[in-house]
Structure 1
Amino acid sequence: MPVNPAHTALWPAPHASGAVDATVHVPGSKSVTNRALVLAALASEPGWLRRPLRSRDTLLMAGALREMGVGIEETVSSSSSGAGTPGGSGEAWRIIPSGLRGPATVDVGNAGTVMRFLPPVAALADGPIRFDGDPRSYERPLTGVIDALRALGARIDDDGRGSLPLTVHGGGALDGGPVEIDASSSSQFVSALLLSAPRFNQGVEVRHTGSSLPSLPHIRMTVDMLRAVGAQVDTPESGGEPNVWRVTPGALLGRDLTVEPDLSNAQPFLAAALVTGGKVVVPDWPSRTTQPGDRLREIFTEMGGACELTEHGLVFTGSGSVHGIDVDLGEVGELTPGIAAVAALADSPSTLRGVSHLRLHETDRLAALTKEINELGGDVTETADGLHIRPRRLHGGIFHTYEDHRMATAGAILGLAVEGVQIENVATTAKTLPDFPDLWAGMLGA
């Protein structure tokens, strides 16, 4: 297979000549977009998704649902709020549910939401649905979803691997009922079962039996979105048993949903204000959200910034100093690469804890961050569940991304303060943050 030139190209990370002062329109949330697509596909009536994220992961999700028979019509409105901002924020997608059917082949790429959320949907289809993806997708954990679906009555052929590629032999319905899973490697195992559960004959009772559950905000997002389309969900937070979620069978409503900006993708831009002692405004930052990225307000304030929610959005200001931090990121692991990059530029050491599950993400993020920051002169040590970072004077060099979008944006943060950083395969940011190089240059006034 020929190598994509974008994967080997080196992008000179722009060096900040002074404090940034910019307004950055961050594209829509990938997590919300992909959950909304699944729920709309399972609804009993058509729905609308406005200002969705248009990126590799979301287009893979939309393409997969189309392969299974769901109608998705894309429109662009020049009068839509935010039209013309990156990532399709002037767009609206009309989702028209229909009888899910095979045979079909789904390309998951390296998208965790696609490879985990859609096998339960496929179990409801009439006919076989084959799932395949990028080579890295074969290495990512999927046993929790496969074993749970089998326990709930699905027939799955994975040749005993517990991973991709696999075929779900949909029977048009699924019994559902109680199931135990170990979701300690990914909260997406829980979300995957909950999203399709209203369509199971008995609904579902998911009981997590493993150790600590990472990324709980993402499960809360799933629950909130289910309730918004009419599902009845009992959770530990609503008085249920610890680590148990129950969804009652029933019809899902079509909805008209406007997608929030992706707060985790706002991270590099807020980091730019922190690192350069400048100011960045992110419009439409929600006052209430289940997105893990909202935690950035607290974390980056502790690291030396200040923020205020105004009518214009979130205003984040750096103080000119960056402080180290000791923080448990277990619930917000996806923020780790950007926080590690800022910590490498701080005035004191940092310890990032609770993120051992990042070894199973798009790449082994703990090993990758350690290697790449250290090769620029840093002093990062892996721990059992995270990283210890001692700031050092850094120098330029090649920052490899391992086809991981958050590694690429972490390298860009370092490049603000360190001349000569070159990002390998910055195009991988298209996974969730389309047009990142242009957004980054625009923030810097280029």
Structure 2
Amino acid sequence: MEGARDGQGKDQLSVNRCALQPSGAYLAGKSYRPLQLLPQNRNKLPISLIQCLCSRAQESFAGKMAALSGKVQTVLGLLDPALLGRTMTHEHLTMNFECCYVPPPPEDKAVSEAPIEIQNLHWVQQNPYSSYENLLLFQEISAVREELQQYRQAGGGAIVENTTTGIARKLPELKQLAKDTGVHIIAGAGYYVDVTHSDETRKMTVEKLTDIMVSEVLHGADGTDIRCGVLGEIGTSWPITESEKKVLRATAHAQSQLGCPVIIHPGRHPTAPTEVVRILQEAGGDISKTVMSHLDRTIFDHGELLEFAKLGSYLEYDLFGTEMLNYPFNLRIDMPSDSQRVQMLTFLVKEGYEDRILVAHDIHTKNRLTKYGGHGYSHILKNIVPKMLSRGISQNQVDKILIDNPKHWLTFK
């Protein structure tokens, strides 16, 4: 702490008035760091006033943290975890996936640019990332509203919406969807994969990224007062880029301050999830409150899966309903069928990991909505649960996967 004396000998300190709050907490959208001097806009304040301002800011931060403890934070506010019900932990309701457009071969150019209709639906299902229109899920708010109502009627209670900065997160729309349908919606804070990082994001320090994510949870995101209830999905590629590593470290720092849930999008390589866990752990993250997504397209070997499971994260199988012959983001793998996904769940349950399994569909393109002949958000409840029961997973274990595990993960410490 730098100090100075004024002419009368009174203690003075040159500070930025907007830099007086606990690290990571935000008031009026500005980051406050107690008794830290910043070079810009310096004004002299008495130490007694500085200490008073810092004390009030710390009390505000502590108050917000106390309110979050033991609760789930939805787009409509804090919720008793017991009220969540059956939860899909990895979905998208508004998203723009243009970042991952895959140019089709020349002979398919015309069909790739055509509207989605029954004549080309099979082609779109097999090539979902080569149909430009298919990537614009955010255009389908009305259809998503209807499908959430169907999800609610099928026994669904909550959805974790994983759309983050850079892929068209639309919090006001999520809030309205929650009001209209009665589905509890938990919004995601943070950043997706490197290709969606802006130049501004790439230049940010770990500390700045941390502050933004903490603010999105404590005060609201995207210029609204709608607060996120989870960090993620935090995106990583393979190999993990330097910008993504910064975001991972910031995620761990934010999680350590907030005691909040985290969800990760790993790169498409069997060792990617383990590398992500290593980075998070080294930065102080809580792996027991962290979900590793997309394991159904990442780790196929049973031995490797058990080795990863020992690290303690939640194990998410979240591509139910996705079946395609060629997975364009990694042509070396074969996308499993839903029956094979159920087999993996059965294996993990038998190995004692029923307390760490989560499931979802990761709907992020139009063709997976029932409006376009897809399975919709109710597929797991209507079709996969009966399959799980027929393959030896008990109703109690199903309830753990759909109700208890999401509840424990989403509850703030």
Return the TM-score normalized by structure 1: 0.30
- Higher helix proportion: 2
Return the TM-score normalized by structure 2: 0.31
